[in-house]
Each structure stands twice: as C-alpha cells, then as structure tokens.
Amino acid sequence: MKTPGRTKVAELLSLGQEGTEVTVKGWVRTKRGNKNVAFVAVNDGSTIGNIQLVFDLQNFSEQQLKGVATGACLRATGTLVASQGSGQRVEIQVADVELYGAADPDVYPLQKKGHTLEFLREIAHLRPRTNTFGAVLRIRHAMAFAIHKYFNDNGFLYLHTPIVTASDAEGAGAMFRVTTLDAKNPPVGKDGEVDFTEDFFGRETSLTVSGQLEGELGAMALGEVYTFGPTFRAENSNTPRHLAEFWMIEPEMAFYEIKDNMDLAEDFIKSLVQYALERCMDDLKFLNDMYDNELISRLQSVCSTEFVRLDYSEGVKILEQSGQKFEFPVRWGVDLQSEHERYLVEKHFKKPVILTNYPRDIKAFYMKQNDDGKTVRAMDVLFPKIGEIIGGSQREESLEKLQARIDELKMDTKTLWWYLDTRRFGTAPHSGFGLGFERLLQFVTGMSNIRDVIPFPRTPKNVEF
Ligand code: 4AD
Ligand code: MG
C-alpha cells in the first residue's frame, strides 16, 4: 500500500524525481535563512536524513511561517528540485504549507542540539525525535525483523510462551509478583502468611524471567522453536547492561547437542550483524561518527572471524595468569563478572568467545550434567564491549538426574511436574539459548548504556514513561 497523502523522506531522498510535485509531512529539525529565503529541514522518522524545504519569502508572509520552527509538525507541498546546497541531492521548493502543531521555542526541550544521553533519558517521550534515537529505533526494528526472518528461513516455529507464570525458570528468585490481592489488606491464612489461594489464579504468580521451560515443551513436539518476548527480572542491578524489563530471543531445539547449539548461536548472531551492515548503513554511519569510530569495523570483524570456543576452566586459568588486577578476584568456581569476560574477549583473544562447561553450582538446574560431577554443559557467548550476550546450554534429558538436581536445590517440584513430564515421556537430547535483545542492540549500535537501546527503559526506581 502507498503511504496515504505524502511521500516519505526516505523515498524522496533516494528515488524522488526532480520536477515532480510532492507532499511531505514531518517535524521541523532546523530553520535558517535570510530576508529572501527560509530553509527548513524536516524529518519524518523514515530515515536519518532530512528533506530541505525552501520557502521563497516573496510567496509567504511572516505570519504564515511564524509557527514553522524547531519541533513543529507540518505538511508541505511543492516541487522537488535539484538542491543548490551540498549535503542533499534534492530539496522541495514549497508552494503550500500547513502547520499541524507548533512547538513553543521557549519551552520545547529539544530546541537546541547536543543534549547528553543522560538528559535525553529524562525526556524519553520526546527522544525518538533526535537523530540518535531515530537511528537506534530503526536498527531495533530491523534486528527484530531479521530475527524472525532468520528463524523462518531455517524452519523454526515462533512459539508464544506465557508472560504470567507460576514457576521460576532460572531459580534465581528475582521475580515480579502478579496479584489482584488488596496490597493493604491481603487475606491471611491460619499460618499467618498471605493466603494466595484467594488470589486471581489461586496461587502465587509472577512475570516470567524466561520463556525457556515452555520453549522446551514446544521443542519436544515441534522440533525447532523460538520465543521472542519480554522478560522481567527484579534484581536491583543498576548497571549499563541490566534492565528490569528486557526482550529475549530463546531458540530451543530437539536433537541438538552442545556443539550444534554453539554453531547455531554463532551463525545466528553473525547473520543478524550482517543484516544490520546490509540494511542499516546510514544509521550505523551516523552512530559510528557520533559515538564510536570503531563501530562499523567491529561489526565487520565479528562477521568474518570464527568465535573462540573454550572451557570455563581454561578461561579461568588465563585470567589467573593474566597478571591483571580485577575488582572481583577470579578462581575456579566463581561466576565470571563482565570485567573478566571482557578481558578474555578484548585483551586476550580479541574476538568473541564461547565459554563452555561451567561449574554446576553457579548454573541453573536444567543444564546437562557432565560425567565429571562438577560441571554442566553450559555455554555463554561473550562479546566485545558487552560481556555476556547469550546464555544457554544443552538440557538435562534424564529424568533421574534432573530430579536429583531439583531435590538437591530444594526446588518446589509441585510447580514443575509438567516440565518433568517431557523427560518422562519421549525424552530426547535437546539444547537452547537466550540472546538478550538489548545487549545485541548495544553491540550493533555501539550505545554504551542499555537504557539507550529500548524506547522506554525500566530500571530500579524508573518507570515514568
Ligand atoms: O543467561 P540468562 O539468564 O539465560 C536464561 O534466561 C536462559 N533461560 C536462556 C535460555 O537458555 N533459553 O539470560 C540470557 C541472556 C543473557 O545472556 C543476556 O544477554 C540477557 O539475556 N539478559 C539481560 N539483558 C538485559 N537485562 C537483564 N537484566 C538481563 N539478564 C539477562
Ligand atoms: Mg547468563
């Protein structure tokens, strides 16, 4: 379908024919000029580029152009002509203008250029109107599309896993409760505890931390599936890499061993980065020039290098022998911090690393146990600038071993009987992983704070927009 009533700026700039009459609708970025002519740059979100409107002041009164200022929204109709100035191929010689909405220059927060990212977070409702957030949000869209395309092209089914859940997939306990009970006066049982049988679902429920467990149910029937949805974690981590609400892509595949899982993760992430390089170059160039001069070369290098694959134990040895002073000391058995992960990736190997065979005690209950009794078949994909971008594993398919681990961790089997049924009936080797969508976007856009790659970030004490 054609866009009704206008031509988008992206199309005008790339394909617009000189001499044709066109209508553009969008928001004014800048206005300049002299007593004979006014130049107004308009952006409509379709591209990083603006279309320049040229107003011959013989044809427009001061009154007509008064509201045409930074932030205002307008329609302009006129003739597309070759641009006299440098910087754009074509511009519009305006014949007719209609102001949809003015923006008072005295109070419009984006009146001036060059705001800090911190300031823009305070006006998250308006920041999509900046070049930076336009670029980031277009790339975000392109990556979401590329993810669905990748899986569709490879025969994976998109499985919609639930948001509200009664189980804790990661066993980490950092969940947001979902309840309709009266917070001021909840029903209390004989034991003095809140009586959740009175709650909407008749039991305690939360927002999901991961769609994996349900993803496994899908894989054990449909073969190769993936989920792509919001996940929620109530951990109080105020870091540039954590959100309380983030999106996760979780493929889950029957008959995949850990090596197949690693192969998929590597191919998947390379193909997403490749897609960005092919389809988002204008936006990437802008971000590369504004924020991070090595962005594009880093993206290219990830696509063309083979990821290192290394045992956790080997990784720890390298870190111990590095002579590097880490904030958190490292030894076999500890969960790696992002400083450790980034040392391996950025200093030691200078490429992405997939670490495998982690100590079982620091990983989730569902991971396949190795014969050594100490490690599990986990895999974390570590990336430059980011640290962990993917976490996954082969899954424990033996009912006996899985049950033993659940008992050892004193987990509540009552909420997991259905998960155990997959091991009871027609179990099979299978694997999967989770890619943090915003971490991927941090890598692709070069934005160093995760709050700047999601339209409306949720972090501790922050839920305004
Ligand atoms: O390593 P995690 O916790 O793994 C899981 O949730 C598994 N159930 C995935 C699976 O095997 N299906 O999380 C996976 C990824 C991390 O590697 C990271 O990229 C991202 O999700 N992630 C977060 N992103 C933003 N904010 C947070 N608080 C995140 N926690 C995890
Ligand atoms: Mg993890």
| pLDDT tens-digit readout, 319-328 | 999 999 999 9
> Does position 172 have pLDDT exceeding 80, yes or no?
no
> Does position 237 have pLDDT exceeding 90, yes or no?
no
Q: Is 388 touching ligand 1 by the criterion CB < 6 Å?
A: yes
- Domain assignment present for residue 185? The answer is no
Number of domains in the chain: 2
User: CATH no. for residue 413?
Assistant: 3.30.930.10
Predicted local confidence at residue 170, as pLDDT:
82
Q: 415 with 392, same domain?
A: yes
Q: 85 with 164, same domain?
A: no
- Domain assignment present for residue 3? The answer is no
Q: Which atom of ligand 1 is nearest to the CA of 380?
A: 17
Cβ pair 379, 312 in contact under 8 A: no
User: CATH no. for residue 71?
Assistant: 2.40.50.140
What whole-number distance in Å separates Cα of residue 95 and Cα of residue 77? 6
Comparing 29-43, 73-87, 166-180, 340-354, the range with the smallest average pLDDT is: 166-180
What whole-number distance in Å separates Cα of residue 100 and Cα of residue 424? 63
Q: Which atom of ligand 1 is nearest to the CA of 393?
A: 11
> Does position 389 have pLDDT exceeding 80, yes or no?
yes
Cβ pair 44, 25 in contact under 8 A: yes
Give the residue with greater pLDDT, 169 vs 142: 142
When pLDDT is averaged across residues 361-374 and rounded to a whole number, the result is 97
Q: Is 395 touching ligand 1 by the criterion CB < 6 Å?
A: no
> Does position 95 have pLDDT exceeding 90, yes or no?
yes
Q: 77 with 38, same domain?
A: yes
Structural domain that includes position 278: 127-174+209-452
> Does position 173 have pLDDT exceeding 80, yes or no?
no
Which 3 state secondary structure label does DSSP give 175? Answer: coil
- Domain assignment present for residue 188? The answer is no
Q: 88 with 25, same domain?
A: yes
What whole-number distance in Å separates Cα of residue 52 and Cα of residue 3? 20
Distance in Å, CA 71 to ligand 2 centroid: 42
Q: Is 379 touching ligand 1 by the criterion CB < 6 Å?
A: no
Distance in Å, CA 168 to ligand 1 centroid: 14
> Does position 87 have pLDDT exceeding 90, yes or no?
no
Average pLDDT, the chain: 96
- Domain assignment present for residue 131? The answer is yes
Name the closest-CA residue to atom 21, ligand 1: 436
Distance in Å, CA 400 to ligand 1 centroid: 27
- Domain assignment present for residue 217? The answer is yes
- Domain assignment present for residue 192? The answer is no
* pLDDT band with cut points at 50, 70 and 90 for residue 254: very high
Which 3 state secondary structure label does DSSP give 462? Answer: strand
* pLDDT band with cut points at 50, 70 and 90 for residue 1: very high
Name the closest-CA residue to atom 22, ligand 1: 436
Q: 241 with 321, same domain?
A: yes
Name the closest-CA residue to atom 4, ligand 1: 391
- Domain assignment present for residue 19? The answer is yes
Predicted local confidence at residue 413, as pLDDT:
81
User: What is the pTM assigned to this prediction?
Assistant: 0.97
Q: Is 214 touching ligand 1 by the criterion CB < 6 Å?
A: no
When pLDDT is averaged across residues 310-330 and rounded to a whole number, the result is 97
Predicted local confidence at residue 63, as pLDDT:
86
